[in-house]
Amino acid sequence: MDSQQFREYGKAAIDFIADFYDNIREKDVLPSVEPGYLIKKLPEDAPEEPEDWKAVFKDFTDNIVPGVTRWQSPQFHAYYPTGTSFASIVGSLLCDGLGVVGITWMASPACTELEVVTMNWFGKLLGLPEEFLNSSPGPGGGVIQGSASEATLVCLLAAKDKMIRRLQKLNPDLDEDLTKIKFVAYTSDQCNSSVEKSGVLGSMKMRLLKADSSGRLRGETLKRAFEEDKAKGLIPCYVVANLGTTGTCAFDPLYELGPVCQKNDVWLHVDAAYAGAAFICPEYRHLMKGVEYADSFDINAHKWLLVNFDCSAMWVKDGYDLINAFDVQRIYLEDVKGDLKIPDYRHWQMPLGRRFRSLKLWSVLKIYGAEGLRRHIRGQISLAQHFTKLVQADNRFIVEPEPAMGLVCFRLVEGDYLTKKLLENLIEKKQIFMVGASCKGRFIIRMVICSQFTTVQDVEVSWKLVKDEADNIVNSDRLHSKSQSIASIDHLQNIDICEKSK
């Protein structure tokens, strides 16, 4: 393929993407394909000879696109949003076009330095304490990781390394292996699966502590857990606080957890993967009160901030904590400097290689501007509030818990069986996509405003789909008798808000 063909193929792809979003409402959010559809359809072997780009493109539109779930459809309300925007797509395109790998400064100076600049910009937008920024006099700084999963694990490993160094200083004869197996990590039972997985991957026991009835991990609970474990000879090492849990978007009080961690020299990591984006609006910053206690802070710009996956923005108060844990040197990787202010980012992450991911963050920050992004966040929250009102106006439904950010959880008064049935029927029809969770022992449906294209009218379409399906399955005559049964299971109040499935 020469550059002329690339101009044609590339521009056809640009037009395809523009058309795809111009017509995003024309197709169902969920594709009508059966498991195995594409495996059966495509040949068993790669082509032997080159194919013309037009044939390749036709294969893409005819066979692949029909099997795609439309994450940017206004009726996509599952999980949390995944960022996509025209600005980000071009930033990412430029990243691929330059095709550099930022393993050292010399390997591409702009790659390292634009990451420093954009992570300072972004940290300031969020109102993070200055200590987290590369632009501060101290050893703090930001780095782009692939995912919140990766950030949680990177900080767990750094915390483990830091703790062992601290203990070795107190007792140089310490047996490292026997000590490390006593380390314990803590988070709430509302954590994302990736937090629990980080314990598995990083070989550290991870205790999922019971959240309160609002889904928040409280300081007293953490303190008690530390005491229990210390009494058993274990060593508290790492805490992951959640700002915006996956199930119900609850916010752990950092101002309670922080002092407990500080007193015990335990690393406090903040996972604000989704909801952290709202901190660009000053009116939501009270939800991160106590952030000054954190050692590390992570937010997925690729969730709610219109940057394409992968762009998980992570800040640490002390870059040396990462470098100490991850630096493995080689002659061929020697670089011109050793300056924390122009970091060798390969020591701030697990893999050696790294793309020029700051280009997409940069493109979004420039094309939207801070005000544009704030408008986006506020707009999405107001759409969720609009949906909340629609649900609340229908007495067959209960909205619970209190909606937060772009998330509205609801269920049928009739109970779990019908709520589940409602969700299953909706998914079967493929016009709307939501997922379930469990709250206070009851099955709930999570509805999240995900697409940047969503309007008030779209929200009303989504509500109509839900309402019509409820009309199909709920016998309104039975409403009164069933509503009494709610009280009878109120003793379930204190059950984990988002139980793990077994």
Selected binder of its own copies within 74, 140, 141, 202 (CB under 8 A): 202
Selected binder of its own copies within 185, 249, 325, 418 (CB under 8 A): 325
Residue number, 1 or 492, with CB nearest to its own copies: 1
Under DSSP, is residue 104 helix (H, G, I), strand (E, B) or coil?
coil
Residue number, 353 or 478, with CB nearest to its own copies: 353
Residue number, 435 or 456, with CB nearest to its own copies: 435
Taking the complex as a whole, the smallest distance from the CB of residue 475 to its own copies amounts, in Å, to 27
Strand duo 296-300 + 267-271: pairing: parallel
The answer to whether residue 71 forms part of the interface with its own copies (CB under 8 A) is yes
Taking the complex as a whole, the smallest distance from the CB of residue 283 to its own copies amounts, in Å, to 17
Contacts 24+ apart (CB under 8 A), 396-403: 396/470, 396/474, 396/476, 396/479, 397/470, 398/486, 400/439, 400/440, 400/442, 400/444, 401/214, 401/215, 401/248, 401/250, 401/439, 401/440, 401/497
Q: Quote the CA–CA distance of 21 and 439 in Å, as a whole number.
A: 34
Selected binder of its own copies within 74, 75, 143, 149 (CB under 8 A): 149
The window from 53-61, 218-226, 469-477, 482-490 that contacts its own copies (CB under 8 A) reads 53-61
Taking the complex as a whole, the smallest distance from the CB of residue 314 to its own copies amounts, in Å, to 13
Would you say 426 and 434 are in contact if contact means Cβ atoms under 8 Å apart? yes
CB atoms within 10 A of CB 500: 10
The answer to whether residue 232 forms part of the interface with its own copies (CB under 8 A) is no
Q: How far is CA 282 from the centre of its chain?
A: 21
Strand duo 442-448 + 407-412: pairing: antiparallel
For its own copies, the binding residues in 100-119 under the rule CB under 8 A are: 100-101, 103, 105-111, 113-114, 116-118
Q: Quote the CA–CA distance of 89 and 369 in Å, as a whole number.
A: 16
Residue number, 23 or 171, with CB nearest to its own copies: 23
Taking the complex as a whole, the smallest distance from the CB of residue 220 to its own copies amounts, in Å, to 26
The answer to whether residue 82 forms part of the interface with its own copies (CB under 8 A) is yes
Under DSSP, is residue 72 helix (H, G, I), strand (E, B) or coil?
coil
Selected binder of its own copies within 75, 77, 89, 225 (CB under 8 A): 89
Binding mask 249-278 for its own copies (x = CB under 8 A): ------------------------------
Taking the complex as a whole, the smallest distance from the CB of residue 366 to its own copies amounts, in Å, to 5
The answer to whether residue 130 forms part of the interface with its own copies (CB under 8 A) is no
Binding mask 285-324 for its own copies (x = CB under 8 A): -----------------x-----xxx--------------
Residue number, 259 or 379, with CB nearest to its own copies: 379
The answer to whether residue 211 forms part of the interface with its own copies (CB under 8 A) is no
**Rg of the chain in Å (alpha carbons):** 24
Q: Quote the CA–CA distance of 266 and 358 in Å, as a whole number.
A: 31
The window from 346-354, 386-394, 464-472, 487-495 that contacts its own copies (CB under 8 A) reads 346-354
Token digits of residue 288: 């991160």
Q: H/E element holding 324?
A: helix 319-326
The answer to whether residue 495 forms part of the interface with its own copies (CB under 8 A) is no
Residue number, 3 or 475, with CB nearest to its own copies: 3
The DSSP 8-state label assigned to residue 307 in this structure reads P
Q: Quote the CA–CA distance of 191 and 229 in Å, as a whole number.
A: 20
Residue number, 74 or 253, with CB nearest to its own copies: 74
Token digits of residue 89: 């797509």
Residue from 231, 197, 233, 226 nearest 209 by CA: 226
- Within 8 A by CB and 6+ apart from 339, the residues are none
Q: Quote the CA–CA distance of 351 and 101 in Å, as a whole number.
A: 12
The answer to whether residue 328 forms part of the interface with its own copies (CB under 8 A) is yes
Q: Quote the CA–CA distance of 143 and 4 in Å, as a whole number.
A: 37
Q: How far is CA 228 from the centre of its chain?
A: 31
Selected binder of its own copies within 96, 283, 468, 471 (CB under 8 A): 96
Give residue 361's identity as a one-letter amino acid code: L
The answer to whether residue 49 forms part of the interface with its own copies (CB under 8 A) is yes
Q: How far apart are the first and last CA of the chain?
A: 50
Q: How far is CA 144 from the centre of its chain?
A: 13
For its own copies, the binding residues in 400-439 under the rule CB under 8 A are: 435-438
For its own copies, the binding residues in 5-44 under the rule CB under 8 A are: 5-7, 9-11, 13-22, 30-31, 33, 35-39, 42, 44
The window from 84-92, 224-232, 381-389, 474-482 that contacts its own copies (CB under 8 A) reads 84-92
For its own copies, the binding residues in 445-484 under the rule CB under 8 A are: 446
Taking the complex as a whole, the smallest distance from the CB of residue 472 to its own copies amounts, in Å, to 22
Residue number, 359 or 432, with CB nearest to its own copies: 359
CA distances from 96 to 20, 58, 358 (A): 21, 23, 12
The answer to whether residue 98 forms part of the interface with its own copies (CB under 8 A) is yes
Binding mask 371-400 for its own copies (x = CB under 8 A): xx----------------------------
